[in-house]
Amino acid sequence: MPFYVPGEDPGTDFLNLLRRNGLDPFPTTLPGTIDAGHATTVLALRCTGGVVVAGDRRATAGHLISHRDMQKVFPADEHSAVAIAGAAGPAIQMVRVFQLQLEYYEKIEGKPLTLEGKANQLAEMLRGHLPQAMQGLAVVPIFAGFDQTRESGRLFQFDVTGGRYEEQDYATSGSGSLHAGTVIKLGYRKDLSESEALSLAVKALWHAADEDSATGGPDPIRGIYPVLTVITDQGFRQLSDEESGAVFADFREELAEG
Amino acid sequence: MAMPGMYVSPEQLMQDRADYARKGISRGRSLAAVEYQGGIALVAENASSTLRKVSEIYDRIAFGGVGRYNEFDQLRIAGVRYAELKGYQYSREDVDARSLANQYAQMLGQIFTHEMKPMEVEIVVAEIDSNGAPELYRIQYDGTVADEQHWCCIGGDSEAVLDRLSDGWSQDLDRDAAVRLAVTALAGTDRSISAQELEVAVLATDNGRRCFVRLEDAETEALLAI
């Protein structure tokens, strides 16, 4: 059982606790470089009641599709989510440690971190990940959540060096981010409702998949649809495949009508 | 610290330490844990609304401590760390109350025999499994661990509280009834405890992954009013 004397106590830092117990989650002394690509489209946009976070489901290895039902949007805790682009293995590991860090902090301190604190924590992890990013295993997440003190949705974009940039309207990441970003930019308004924001997210993901080979589109044959999530004061909610399918069906009608 | 010309028998030494620890624990207020259909209620008499006696350890595990606050809070944090590290290394399902209770027992036993001063604490580790089956462990200042059935009580006046719990407990208690039973057992016949002086939390199977929920004072007040 880990027991520390005052002065040596790792406090609320879960990463430090892992390292002190011989479980370094991000080993940095790797030889050589690996090209793990940047194959994804994830996005987040603010709406009146909070924020919508969405991502496609495709994972690629070179020109091959390695997974059709990847999850790239994760709840970080009850009122926030993180969407990932970049090397899948390190990205998923980073999300896992991030989730554990938030819950660990909450339990040790008796209250959760502020949304700002959570975003800074993720930036800190990215900064620590820079050596691996230099070796080709870059991770570029988006962090979004409902800020209970400000009573509004907020979103943050990052770069591989741990740079943290708060966005007012929307954020995109991954190889399809340019296309998705343009679609959102053209359709965005400050007063988008939750369902309007979901429709815009679906439109952006569809156009990204239409232009970028590394981004997956809707797959009605298998019933696999991009992940759509909403964070409001009620917390994080992921739409079921049926619900996402319905939003895509509406978009198909819109396309058919021209 | 060896003093020339002074001999204390090991029996006496252990006895003195035990008396010291018991005295410290008996000064504080008690804490009761009561099983009910679908959960475990943990109720402590606690005038402070920020320094907690009952807390969350992991998805299905809660912790209750009485005695010296800084000491049982240190144990609480060690428990959170132990559970989080185990869950990270293996899986969340591999974290269980039995092994945590054993870890606490080892640690308290070690401190009791090897340190200058024993910990003046008594703790309870509660767990509810995915089918709603409860487990309760009571661990004493010297590392004695007991597997309790249906209810348990730690702290100063525990004998009298245990009698009242045993009289009032039945298989079909619901959450509110379990909390009321714990409160009346802690209060006894000649006094009542207000919601502001209580700390109430439950481990409930219907609360998703994290079973631990605190009850607000208003909620406690409402259910005690019935």
Q: B77–A108: do the CB atoms touch at under 8 Å?
A: yes
Closest chain A residue to the Cα of B90, Cα to Cα: A23
Q: Which residues of B touch A17 (CB under 8 A)?
A: 81, 84-85
Quote the minimal CA–CA distance from A109 to chain B in Å: 9
Q: Which residues of A touch B88 (CB under 8 A)?
A: 18, 23, 100
Q: B74–A3: do the CB atoms touch at under 8 Å?
A: yes
Mean pLDDT of chain A: 93
- The reply to whether A169 falls in a domain is yes
Predicted local confidence at residue B168, as pLDDT: 95
Confidence bin at B27 (pLDDT 50/70/90): confident
Closest chain A residue to the Cα of B73, Cα to Cα: A108
List, for residues B45-77, the tens digit of each pLDDT value: 998 989 999 999 999 999 999 999 999 999 999
Q: A1–B81: do the CB atoms touch at under 8 Å?
A: yes
Confidence bin at A135 (pLDDT 50/70/90): confident
Q: B84–A2: do the CB atoms touch at under 8 Å?
A: no
- The reply to whether A12 falls in a domain is no
Share of chain A above pLDDT 90, in %: 80
Closest chain A residue to the Cα of B212, Cα to Cα: A107
Quote the minimal CA–CA distance from A115 to chain B in Å: 20
List, for residues A77-134, the tens digit of each pLDDT value: 999 999 999 999 999 999 999 999 999 999 999 999 999 999 999 999 999 999 888 8
Q: Is-contact A15 A97, C-beta < 8 A?
A: yes
CATH of domain B27-225: 3.60.20.10
Closest chain A residue to the Cα of B74, Cα to Cα: A3
- The reply to whether A30 falls in a domain is no
Quote the minimal CA–CA distance from A186 to chain B in Å: 40
Q: How far is CA B82 from CA B61, B90, B212, in A?
A: 12, 12, 18
- The reply to whether A23 falls in a domain is no
Q: Which residues of A touch B50 (CB under 8 A)?
A: 110
Domain count across chain A: 1
- The reply to whether A21 falls in a domain is no
Residue with tokens 């003093």: B3
* Alpha-carbon span A117 to B53, nearest angstrom: 27
List, for residues B152-195, the tens digit of each pLDDT value: 999 988 889 999 999 999 999 999 999 999 999 999 888 899 99
List, for residues A36-90, the tens digit of each pLDDT value: 656 799 999 999 999 999 999 999 988 899 999 999 999 999 999 999 999 999 9
Predicted local confidence at residue A116, as pLDDT: 95
* CATH classification of the domain holding A241: 3.60.20.10
Nearest to B80 among A21, A23, A107 (CB): A107
For chain B, the domains span 27-225
In order, the DSSP letters of B33-95 are EEEETTEEEEEEE-S-SSS-SEEEEETTEEEEEEE-HHHHHHHHHHHHHHHHHHHHHS-GGG-
Quote the minimal CA–CA distance from A94 to chain B in Å: 13
Q: Which residues of A touch B83 (CB under 8 A)?
A: none
Longest dimension (CA), chain B: 65
Predicted local confidence at residue B3, as pLDDT: 59
* Domain enclosing residue A172, as ranges: 38-257
Cα B192 to chain centroid, rounded: 21
Predicted local confidence at residue B2, as pLDDT: 57
List, for residues A177-206, the tens digit of each pLDDT value: 999 999 999 999 999 999 999 999 999 999
List, for residues A158-181, the tens digit of each pLDDT value: 999 999 999 999 999 999 999 999
Most confident stretch, A7-16, A219-228, B4-13: A219-228
Q: A107–B56: do the CB atoms touch at under 8 Å?
A: yes
Nearest to B107 among A1, A100, A108 (CB): A1
List, for residues A204-231, the tens digit of each pLDDT value: 999 999 999 999 999 999 999 999 999 9
Nearest to B88 among A1, A23, A108 (CB): A23
Average pLDDT over residues B90-96: 95
pTM of the model: 0.92
Cα–Cα nearest to B75, from B106, B96, B50: B106
State the catalytic residues of A.
40
Q: B85–A104: do the CB atoms touch at under 8 Å?
A: no
Q: B80–A110: do the CB atoms touch at under 8 Å?
A: no
- The reply to whether A119 falls in a domain is yes
Q: Which residues of B touch A18 (CB under 8 A)?
A: 85, 88
Confidence bin at A150 (pLDDT 50/70/90): very high
Residue with tokens 């390695």: A66
List, for residues B116-164, the tens digit of each pLDDT value: 899 999 999 999 987 779 999 999 999 999 999 999 999 988 889 999 9
Predicted local confidence at residue B177, as pLDDT: 97
Predicted local confidence at residue A23, as pLDDT: 87
Predicted local confidence at residue A38, as pLDDT: 62
In order, the DSSP letters of chain A are -----TTT--TT-HHHHHHHTT--SS-----S---------EEEEEETTEEEEEE---EEETTEEEESS---EEEEETTEEEE--B-HHHHHHHHHHHHHHHHHHHHHHSSPPPHHHHHHHHHHHHHHHHHHHHTT--B--EEEEEETTTTEEEEEEE-TT--EEEESSEEEESTTHHHHHHHHHHH--TT--HHHHHHHHHHHHHHHHHH-TTS---BTTTTB--EEEEEETTEEEEPPHHHHHHHHHHHHHHHHH-
Closest chain A residue to the Cα of B107, Cα to Cα: A1
Share of chain A above pLDDT 70, in %: 97
ipTM: 0.91
